[in-house]
């Protein structure tokens, strides 16, 4: 081999590695930036517990936190993840297992497109749907239901929770936010489930059908043995993804700085970071960094537990 070729080889490979490493450096920079400024901010704004429970600071206050947005994030993420999984998983099984069916193929293409869909358009979609159905929903379903519930609960302590959790709904509310998050998560879970199913070896599949007898049983034997890990990972990472989403919440949950009913505008940590970070007020910028540290911690916990699970298996 000529020496030019050798040199070219080294330069070329070195360049690839350099570029590859460059892609991951911002990650470290971001994590360091957020934790160094965020932890400092949390301390200066009144300590961790205060920060996690109190309302966001107004421009002139000296302390504050992300209590209401954090509750909103947890509530909407939980609902969104449950919804996203409850719909995404069966869809993925359908796509992965019934590969020869036309409809399943169409669903696969649809899911593939949806997973890369700009999340802001998903938020707008839910907003538009909400605008259409809100009146009817409140008049015919949520209004009567909450009236009945209130009547039934009477003087008990739960009375107030009805209007907090059930309705009637405002045009911005936590359920619209959760629905948008679920829409973000569905195709993601569906795709991973489908590819996990598709990767199940044919002999194992045949064995499962053989033992299980009926299709439905077979599906679940296969699922338990092989797919559950992949799907669990998908659920965890999918949850991490939606926990940090901002764009789909802009026009659905809208954001709120106070402890308020989920039937109206609801805060989210990501929304607060977005809103507070570019204000001219130092205390709010600090709280944005503190909130970022909280959000990052949630994401890291979800991500690492998913990875540890995956590596262990």
Partner 1 sequence: MFFIKAYPIFAREGFAMFLQTEWDPGAQKYGVLQALVGTMLTSVVAIALAMPMAIGVAVTINEVLPSRLRTIFGSLVDLTATMPTVLFGLWGFYVLGPFLQNAVNTLAGGAVMTSPSTLFTASVLLAIMVTPYAAAVIREGYALVPKAVEEAIYGVGATRLEAVLLKLRYVISYVLGGFFLALGRAMGETVAVAMVVGGNYAHLTTNLFQSGITISSLIALQFGNARFYTYAEPALFAAALLLAIFGIAINTAAIYLIQKWQP
Partner 2 sequence: MTKLEAKNLQVSFGNVAVITGLNLSIPEGSITALMGPSGSGKSTLLRVFNRLIELYPEAHVGGYVYLDGQDIFEIDVIELRRRVQMIFQIPNPIPNLSIFENVALGLKLNRLAKNRKELYQRVKTALEKAQLWDEVKDRLNAPAGKLSGGQQQRLCVARSLAFEPEVLLADEPTANLDPENTAKIEALLLDLKKEMTIVLVTHFPQQAARISDYVAFLYKGQIVERGPTKDIFTKPRHELTEKYVTGRLY
In the complex, the residues that contact partner 1 under the rule CB under 8 A are: 1, 5-6, 8-9, 12-13, 15-24, 26-27, 29-30, 33-34, 109, 112-113, 116-121, 124-125, 128-129, 237, 240-241, 243-247, 250-251, 270, 273-274, 277-278, 288-289, 292, 295-296, 299, 303, 307, 311
Residue (5 or 214) nearer to partner 1, CB: 5
144 binds, among partner 1, partner 2, none (CB under 5 to 8 A by kind): none
- C-alpha–C-alpha distance, residues 109 and 243, integer Å: 26
Instruction: List contacts with partner 2 (CB under 8 A).
Output: 1-2, 5
Least Å from the CB of residue 5 to partner 1: 6
Cβ neighbours around 251 below 10 Å, total: 21
The minimum distance between CB 228 and partner 2, in angstroms, equals: 29
Query: Do the beta carbons of residue 272 and residue 66 sit within 8 Å?
Result: yes
Query: Which of residues 71 and 219 has its CB atom nearest to partner 1 in the complex?
Result: 71
In the complex, minimum distance from the CB of residue 150 to partner 1, in angstroms, rounded to a whole number: 31
Residue 247 C-beta: closest distance to partner 1, Å? 4
Q: Which CB, 76 or 237, lies closer to partner 1?
A: 237
Burial letters 128-147, b for 16+ CB under 10 A, else e: eebeeebeebbeeebeeebe
d(CA 30, CA 37): 11
């Amino acid at each position: 081999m000529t020496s030019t070729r050798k040199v070219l080889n080294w330069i070329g490979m070195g360049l690839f590695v350099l570029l590859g490493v460059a892609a991951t450096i911002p990650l470290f920079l971001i994590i360091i930036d957020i934790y160094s400024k965020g932890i400092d901010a949390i301390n200066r704004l009144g300590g961790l517990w205060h920060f996690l429970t109190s309302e966001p600071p107004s421009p002139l206050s000296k302390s504050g936190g992300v209590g209401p947005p954090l509750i909103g994030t947890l509530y909407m993420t939980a609902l969104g993840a449950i919804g996203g999984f409850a719909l995404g998983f069966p869809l993925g099984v359908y796509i992965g297992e019934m590969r020869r069916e036309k409809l399943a193929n169409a669903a696969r293409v649809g899911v593939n497109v949806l997973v890369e869909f700009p999340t802001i358009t998903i938020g707008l979609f839910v907003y538009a749907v909400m605008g259409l159905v809100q009146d009817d929903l409140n008049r015919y379903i949520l209004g009567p239901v909450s009236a009945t519930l209130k009547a039934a609960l009477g003087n008990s302590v739960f009375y107030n929770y009805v209007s907090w959790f059930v309705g009637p709904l405002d045009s911005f509310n936590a359920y619209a936010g959760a629905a948008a998050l679920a829409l973000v998560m569905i195709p993601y879970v569906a795709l991973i489930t489908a590819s996990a199913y598709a990767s199940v070896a044919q002999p194992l599949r045949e064995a499962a059908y053989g033992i299980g007898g009926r299709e439905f049983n077979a599906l679940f034997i296969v699922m338990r043995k092989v797919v559950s890990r992949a799907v669990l990972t998908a659920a965890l990472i999918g949850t991490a993804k939606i926990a940090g989403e901002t764009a789909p919440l802009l026009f659905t949950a809208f954001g709120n700085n106070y402890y308020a009913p989920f039937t109206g505008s609801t805060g989210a940590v990501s929304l607060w970071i977005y809103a507070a970070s570019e204000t001219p007020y130092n205390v709010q910028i600090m709280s944005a960094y503190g909130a970022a540290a909280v959000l990052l911690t949630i994401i890291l916990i979800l991500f690492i537990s998913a990875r540890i699970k995956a590596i262990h298996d």
